[in-house]
A and B are shown apart, each in its own frame.
Chain A
């Protein structure tokens, strides 16, 4: 009797269609020639910071590969809120090195810890300037070799500004998303949003300088490819 029941159960379970999450993959590119990057001249004029360089570093507002691949774009699913797994995710680290933030574009989830380090031999202040209510503005000192600073944000916000007022050329932009369904493009311009449940979505690509592009996709049981191409206006 027990054996028969077990066989029936296995048969029944096998009959249930499995829901397979798929990935959304693609590439972000840039058409056109972006304006030339600007050297950090004020950095070189600072005795402590300038001593760390032989030539002035430049901004990296547009990181574009040889085949127009665009880095620092955040691709995410629009309208997917309240799915954050940030509290259980490992912290994201941002360093202050060479009197610049490294990296300057980051993406984290709501509730996820952001650790800010100071690897420089000088004082920095870490001034976080959110624009969304619920994400508090703060301004903290970080001495050279001082303890790390920890941040976490409860509200989604794109490109929240971090700055150092001691060294006013230092900026970083942290995007806070309310779900794990996002990806920050690297130098190859590629992104992969993993394990997306089946359904219809609007995929959004955000670049701090270039704005936002969106595309509608439907995820079924296999990976979906969607590419974005920004234009320099």
Chain B
């Protein structure tokens, strides 16, 4: 059941939400650097750091991997604080009940994420590192979504105008949103695969690209894997690879190809069905560009023998790809959901001036 409520654009709240999302992105980068530098366990205690209160840990001791892990914790604390403020702010100043719940969800998720990160350290459990990486990506989607939902742009464009969206376009949008949603879910699966790969702490499972051990599909017999390991000499993450890790890397490559094909389809279909000037068509094109850059970064990760900065950029590219798909879906769902509610008399005014606007809310 939909209802129309009066929503006042709160610019300071929106910009704070944007800032929270940006800091979350920064936090993802810091977390990516921790794993890329194999530094996840360099501070063995939590919530303290080497027995110090986290905020009083002397910078002179931030050496080697400790620098990456400790700065990750500090940024995470900042994001935790920002999320708490954001949740309270939404609760007090946003009239939409579902935004209250979204703020509360963000708060709970950031707490869960912090505890997951801490438990990964104190329980010395690498499996928790995978969950920590995935929840981090989902939390970024949530903060970015809150930033979108509080934006004047969202207020102005969420409710479709009768003169802009015809019945055919609404149907087209419905088809497109399913396609984009499927692609976004596939990207999430890809990020789960990637997190699993990174938490193996075994360097590159396959050292070449576009081939794999010189073949289209690598030999994963025990003798072949033994031979690979004999010739893999790593200074960092020196750990034998397994057939499972090699197959996982191949699945990662195949899923990347599938995502590329799907985003090409999304961009093409969005342009064809919505018109090239539609913001969603432009966003789909940007998404395709992002996926292309992400594929290049994936290749560069291999060609650079998993250089920490390149691998981390690849992680961030994955996060942006997921968020772009998720926000595209959010906008499309909003348009589609609001469509039946649109009456000719509905007006949207002052969306960019801070004045109240009409927005359909579920």
Contacts and interface: CB of A to CB of B under 8 A. Distances in A.
Contacts of A167: 64-65
B11 to A, nearest CB: 44
B41 interface: yes
Contacts of B124: 127, 137-139
A220 interface: no
Interface string B33-53: 000011111111100001000
B239 interface: yes
Contact of B44 (A36, A42, A140, A211): A140
Contacts, number: 83
Nearest to A167: B64
B66 A169 contact: no
Interface string A99-124: 00000000000000000000000110
A90 interface: no
B312 to A, nearest CB: 15
Most buried by A among B64, B66, B233: B64
Contacts of A168: 37-39, 64-65, 236-237
Contact of A233 (B121, B223, B233, B238): B223
B57 to A, nearest CB: 12
A36 B121 CA distance: 35
Interface stretch (B1-9, B16-24, B224-232): B224-232
B63 interface: yes
Q: Which residue, of B37, B63, B229, B237, has the highest number of chain A Cβ atoms within 10 A?
A: B63
A38 B50 contact: no
Contact of B229 (A36, A40, A46, A209): A209
Contacts of A140: 44
Nearest to B69: A165
Contact of B38 (A123, A137, A139, A165): A165
A161 interface: yes
A165 B229 contact: no
Interface in B89-126: 121, 124-125
B235 A41 contact: yes
Contacts of A169: 235-236
A59 interface: yes
Contact of A139 (B44, B64, B227): B44
A87 interface: no
Contact of A42 (B121, B227, B235): B235
B166 interface: no
A166 B43 CA distance: 8
Interface string B136-147: 000000000000
A232 interface: yes
B208 to A, nearest CB: 15
Interface in B55-89: 61, 63-66, 69
Nearest to B223: A233
A61 interface: yes
B3 to A, nearest CB: 53
A224 interface: no
Contacts of A46: 63-64
A127 B42 CA distance: 9
Interface string A161-203: 1010111110100000000000000000000000000000000
A85 interface: no
Contacts of B121: 139
Contacts of B69: 165
B304 interface: no
Given A166-B63, A168-B64, 6 more contacts: A42-B235, A61-B233, A123-B63, A127-B124, A138-B124, A139-B41
Q: Which 7 A-B pairs have the closest CB atoms?
A: A165-B42, A168-B38, A233-B227, A166-B64, A165-B41, A139-B44, A137-B124
11 contacts: A35-B230, A35-B231, A38-B233, A38-B235, A59-B233, A123-B61, A140-B44, A165-B39, A166-B66, A167-B65, A168-B38
